[in-house]
Amino acid sequence: MVVVLNSMKTTKKSGLGRGLESLFFENAVEEASAEEKLIKVEEIFPNPNQPRQSFNEASLNELADSIKQYGVIQPIVLRPNVDGSYMIVAGERRFRAAKLAGLAEIPAVVRKLTDLQIAKISVIENLQCEDLTPVEAARSYEKLMELADCDTEGLAKMLSVPRSTIVNTLRILTLPEVIINMLQEKKITQGHAKILLSGKVKPEEMVMLAYVVCEKELSVRETEQLVQKFVERQAKKAERNSENLERCRQMKTNLCAFLGKSAKVKYYKGKYNVSFSCNSYEDLERIVAKLKD
């Protein structure tokens, strides 16, 4: 989230931002003229509940180079801890870049915010990051829905984004953990994940297909074709299995009537297997005689 702290205005980005002041601060931040001050970097610590787990190294280095030349133009937001240290509320990327640039102090505004307010700010700030991974975005949406006690429709109105965007992003969290990790590590894209989800395949089949996508470095279009062919093959296989199952049932009925005893008929790998048991040698002779006739 891009916050101009001196005037407490929120700059809207990517459709997010409408009504955020009332959401975040909830009348608890009245210091509109709070002073900006320099805080020692060594006294500042990241929020342990930060939804964002990864920061692009190249982007951080670029920002660090800019900070070396121009300084930190926009202060970060901190909350004081009881031990005299500070926790980052907003601006962790700038903080990381400032450390890379070798700064001993960083401009900041200190606010006394509740845990709930901090969590909401962190979620929205992360959603407005251009390099946020689809998994991080999904977890941010999920977290904000929990904090705001709303559904996808309510969240869509809150963020001024289409509900379909939120729903499709949240669907990522229904993927098997292996594929979620692939997304997080950017081995596949959200487009690949969308195709895998739309294929109506079992979780283990989805994982198998995802490995093929990674191994062959397939495009989204090629992944769509891969999934479509797989689903078609599975449908034909299911149809054949259904036909064979019905044949086995009919044959079992006929065989039991013919033999005068219980029998089993199974289909496996292109072959039909028939089995039955005899109570005595005479019983076996009777059946053999029937078969000869």
- Which residues belong to CATH 3.90.1530.10 in the chain? 2-173
pLDDT, one tens digit per residue, over 190-214 is 999 999 998 788 899 999 999 999 9
Among all chains, which residue has been given the structure tokens 């070798």?
A: 102
Give the orientation angle of helix 203-216 with respect to helix 220-259, to 10 degrees.
140
CATH 3.90.1530.10 for domain 2-173:
yes
Tens of pLDDT, residues 152-171: 999 888 878 899 989 999 99
| Burial of residue 109, with CB atoms counted within 10 A of its CB: 0-12 exposed, 13-18 middle, 19 or more buried | buried
Q: Which residues are catalytic?
A: 92
Q: Where does the pLDDT of residue 16 fall: very low under 50, low under 70, confident under 90, or very high at 90 and above? A: low
Check residue 27 and report its DSSP letter.
T
212: amino acid identity, one letter: V
Q: Which of 127-136, 137-146, 235-244 is most confident?
A: 137-146
What per-residue confidence (pLDDT) applies to 143?
A: 84
Give pLDDT, residue 7. Answer: 31
Residue 101 has pLDDT above 80, yes or no: yes
- Find out whether 207 and 179 touch, Cβ atoms under 8 Å: yes
Structure tokens at 142: 């999920």
- Would you say 134 and 141 are in contact if contact means Cβ atoms under 8 Å apart? no
Please classify residue 135 by burial: count the beta carbons closer than 10 Å to its beta carbon, then call 0-12 exposed, 13-18 middle and 19+ buried: buried
| Predicted TM-score of the model (pTM) | 0.61
Rounded Cα gap, residues 100 and 95, in angstroms: 9
What string of DSSP letters covers 119-163? HHHHHHHHHT-TT--HHHHHHHHHHHHHHHT--HHHHHHHHTS-H
Query: One-letter amino acid identity for 113?
Result: L
The single-letter DSSP state of residue 35 is P
Nearest partner of 53 among 214, 207, 180, judged by Cα: 180
List the single range of 64-68, 71-75, 191-195, 258-262 with lowest mean pLDDT: 258-262
Report the range out of 20-24, 30-34, 63-67, 238-242 with the highest average pLDDT: 63-67
Task: Assign 19 a pLDDT band (cuts: 50, 70, 90).
Answer: very low
CA-CA distances (angstroms) from residue 238 to 5, 233, 234, 271? Answer: 61, 9, 6, 16
Mean pLDDT of 46-64: 82
Of the candidates 98, 108, 29, the residue with the CA atom closest to the CA atom of residue 76: 108
pLDDT at site 30 = 43
> Lowest mean pLDDT: which of 18-32, 124-138, 217-231, 252-266?
18-32
